[in-house]
């Protein structure tokens, strides 16, 4: 760990194609312990990782923090990277685990804060769920601000935020990272059928959020964590 990581420069090149394998000489050197190569590798993937995490946690500061943690884990475990997986998939798995862990911690904190505020816990799950959703990130702009700006990206992000973590992860990997079903399944260690199911339900939920229409489906709402089988 004595050698510093390579700070991204212009010559580090663009992010590699998805599915970098050990045939990549940079990756091979990084696995062998070349800190410079590892720095180059991280600089190539940092934007993708950051955006993935950002869509998950929907907060820039949190995204930066989680991305740093992701990179740290990549550095710590790159030597044990199994060469039977794609590097991007492996990195994505780490990123999603970190992001979901962060979301759960944050949600627990907000829930406790909500319960400790003296509000009656019996007062309708819908109301609590609404408050929880509103409090998902107390640092993000308020609802009034969102209504005022009405930015499409913000609305989309807000719709994503209301999804359960499992559904959100699939949707983010599909639309932000634009992974195929197999990659998503590998990253999240799910079956492809589960991925497809979650993706469709996530899209329906987003539609509900954005268009206010109830999908005539018997399936439970993806926004309800209890709906996950």
Partner 1 sequence: MIDRHDPNLLLDYLEGELPEEAAAEVAAAVRADPELRLLMEELGADRAALRAMPEAEPPSDLLEGVQAQLEREMLLGPPPEPIPLARGHRNTQPPAANQPSHLRDRLVFLGGLAALLALAAGITLYSLSQTSLLNFAGQNTPPTTPAPVQPPRTATPAVPSATDPPSTFAVAPNPASPEVAALPAAPTRLRNQPSDPSTAAWFIGNTSASMPSSMPGDLGDSPPLSNSRADTFVDGVAIALESAPLEERVPTVSEATAVPGHAMQAVQVAAVPPDRLRALADEVRVVRATGAQFRQGERSLARPAQQQIILAAQDAELAEEELIRWAAQNRVAVLGIDQKSRPARVDLESRALADTEPLTLPETAASEASKESAAGSATSSLRAPTTPMPMPVGKSGALRRQHLARDESASDDSPAPASAPALAAPPRRLLLQVNTDQIPQLIDQLAAVEPSPEQTRQRRALATSALRPHFAFDALPQRFPQPPSPPPGSIDALVFQNAGDWVEVVITPNP
Q: Which of 13, 19, 32, 47 binds partner 1 (CB under 8 A)?
A: 47
Minimum distance from CB of 203 to partner 1 (Å)? 5
Is 71 an interacting residue with respect to partner 1 (CB under 8 A)? yes
CA dihedral over 192, 195, 201, 207, signed as positive or negative? negative
x/- binding map, residues 204-223, to partner 1, per CB under 8 A? x-xx--xx-x-xx-------
Closer CB to partner 1, 118 or 216, in the complex: 216
Among 93, 114, 128, 131, which residue interacts with partner 1 (rule: CB under 8 A)? Answer: 93
Given a contact cutoff of 8 angstroms between Cβ atoms, the answer to whether 163 and 171 are in contact is yes
- CA atoms of 105 and 115, how far apart (whole Å): 15
The secondary structure of the chain in percent helix, strand, coil, rounded to multiples of 5, reads 65, 0, 35
Cβ 170 to partner 1 shortest distance, Å: 11
Place of tokens 């992000």: 157
User: What residues from 141 to 170 belong to the interface with partner 1 (CB under 8 A)?
Assistant: 152-153, 156-157, 160, 165-166, 169
Asked if 193 and 73 count as a contact pair (C-beta separation under 8 A), the reply is no
Number of residues that bind partner 1 (CB under 8 A): 70
Question: Is 137 a residue that touches partner 1 (CB under 8 A)?
Answer: no
Minimum CB separation of residue 78 from partner 1 in Å reads 12
Cβ–Cβ < 8 Å for 166, 228: yes
CB of 5 closer than 8 Å to CB of 75: yes
- 3-state DSSP call for residue 226? helix
Measure the CA–CA gap between 131 and 146, rounded to whole angstroms: 16
Q: Indicate the SS3 state at residue 19.
A: coil
Residues contributing to the site for partner 1 (CB under 8 A): 1-2, 4-5, 7-8, 39, 42-43, 46-47, 50-51, 54-55, 60, 63-64, 67-68, 71-73, 75-77, 93-94, 96-98, 100-101, 104-105, 108-109, 112, 152-153, 156-157, 160, 165-166, 169, 171, 174-176, 178, 181, 188-190, 193, 196-197, 199-201, 203-204, 206-207, 210-211, 213, 215-216
């Amino acid at each position: 760990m004595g050698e510093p990581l390579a700070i991204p420069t212009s010559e580090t090149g663009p992010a590699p194609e998805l599915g970098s394998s050990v045939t990549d000489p940079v990756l091979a050197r990084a696995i062998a312990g070349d800190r410079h190569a590892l720095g180059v590798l991280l600089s190539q993937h940092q934007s993708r990782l950051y955006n993935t995490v950002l869509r998950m946690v929907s907060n820039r500061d949190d995204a930066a923090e989680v991305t740093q943690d992701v990179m740290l884990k990549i550095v710590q475990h790159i030597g044990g990277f199994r060469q039977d997986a794609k590097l991007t998939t492996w990195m994505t798995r780490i990123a999603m685990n970190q992001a979901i862990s962060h979301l759960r911690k944050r949600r627990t904190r907000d829930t406790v804060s909500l319960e400790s505020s003296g509000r009656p816990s019996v007062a309708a799950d819908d109301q609590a769920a609404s408050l929880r959703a509103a409090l998902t990130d107390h640092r993000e702009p308020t609802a009034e601000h969102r209504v005022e700006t009405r930015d499409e990206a913000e609305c989309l992000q807000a719709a994503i935020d209301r999804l359960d973590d499992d559904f959100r992860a699939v949707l983010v990997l599909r639309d932000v990272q634009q992974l195929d079903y197999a990659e998503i399944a590998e990253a999240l260690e799910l079956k492809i059928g589960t991925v497809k199911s979650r993706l469709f339900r996530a899209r329906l939920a987003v539609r509900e959020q954005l268009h206010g229409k109830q999908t005539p489906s018997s399936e439970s709402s993806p926004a309800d964590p209890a709906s996950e089988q």
